[in-house]
Structures are given as structure tokens and as C-alpha cells.
């Protein structure tokens, strides 16, 4: 019985770890190449459960005036590598609102204001990343 609960606890623990945002200082893709930034589909009120769902890897120098269609207006959290910056636009072709994210972890794009009343949650349609 004890072993069963230990396994259950560990499963929960692993789920929690997987959802944790990666460290901006060591952000790499699955093959170990340095990333400029990574966007995530989901965010969470609890920061340690943010950076969930599928993710989009962004490399140094990536310039996408049109974000890949599956990612249009979808990112809800993001991490920008150390010494890098990610500029995003709310509309394709570098139109609409613009914001520059410096290195760091942005757990909830909902909390990042856009204009007077808006926010950046599910509203990124283009990006440029540089290190």
C-alpha cells in the first residue's frame, strides 16, 4: 500500500515538474541547441503549473512576421533566454500592438498589459527574436 501511494505521489510530482517553466539561463531545444525563446499554449494562475500544453521553439534570429498558423493567437506564457529579447506583434506582418520581452519568464501573458484594457494572452500573431 505504501509503495502504491509513493508511485502515485511521484506521478503527481513529475506532472508538476513537466509543467514548470524552463530556466531562461539554460533554455535549449530537445536536441540541445540554444533557444532564443519558447512559447507555451497554456498558462496557470499557479505559476509553478504554468508553461503547459504544447510549445513553440524560437531560435536566435528567427523572424516570423506571420507566426505559424497553428500558433496564431494561441501563446499564453513564454520564456525568453538570457541575453535575448523577443519582440511580438498582435497582428500579422508586424501590425497592431507591439511589445518587446526581455530575458525572463512570463508565467501569464494575461497579466501583461496591451494598450489600455487589453492583454497579450492568446494575441501573438508575429515575432522576432534576437540574442
Interacting residue ranges for Ca ion, rule: CB under 5 A: 41, 74, 76, 122
How far apart are the C-alpha atoms of 86 and 73, rounded to whole Å? 16
By beta carbon distance, the residue nearest Ca ion is: 76
> How many Cα atoms sit within 13 Å of 8 on the Cβ side?
5
How far apart are the C-alpha atoms of 104 and 45, rounded to whole Å? 18
Smaller CB distance to Ca ion: residue 55 or 64?
55
Smaller CB distance to Ca ion: residue 76 or 103?
76
Closest distance to Ca ion from the beta carbon of 108 (Å): 11
How far apart are the C-alpha atoms of 3 and 50, rounded to whole Å? 29
Smaller CB distance to Ca ion: residue 41 or 62?
41
Closest distance to Ca ion from the beta carbon of 77 (Å): 8
How far apart are the C-alpha atoms of 33 and 41, rounded to whole Å? 21
Closest distance to Ca ion from the beta carbon of 81 (Å): 21
Amino acid at each position: 500500500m505504501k509503495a502504491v501511494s509513493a508511485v502515485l505521489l511521484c506521478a503527481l510530482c513529475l506532472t508538476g515538474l513537466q509543467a514548470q517553466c524552463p530556466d531562461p539561463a539554460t533554455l535549449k531545444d530537445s536536441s540541445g541547441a540554444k533557444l532564443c525563446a519558447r512559447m507555451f499554449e497554456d498558462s496557470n494562475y499557479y505559476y509553478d503549473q504554468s508553461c503547459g500544453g504544447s510549445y513553440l521553439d524560437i531560435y536566435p534570429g528567427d523572424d516570423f512576421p506571420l507566426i505559424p498558423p497553428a500558433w496564431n493567437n494561441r501563446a499564453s506564457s513564454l520564456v525568453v533566454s538570457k541575453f535575448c529579447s523577443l519582440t511580438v506583434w498582435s497582428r500579422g506582418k508586424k501590425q497592431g500592438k507591439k511589445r518587446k520581452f526581455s530575458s525572463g519568464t512570463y508565467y501569464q501573458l494575461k497579466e501583461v498589459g496591451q494598450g489600455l484594457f487589453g492583454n497579450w494572452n492568446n494575441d501573438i500573431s508575429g515575432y522576432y527574436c534576437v540574442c
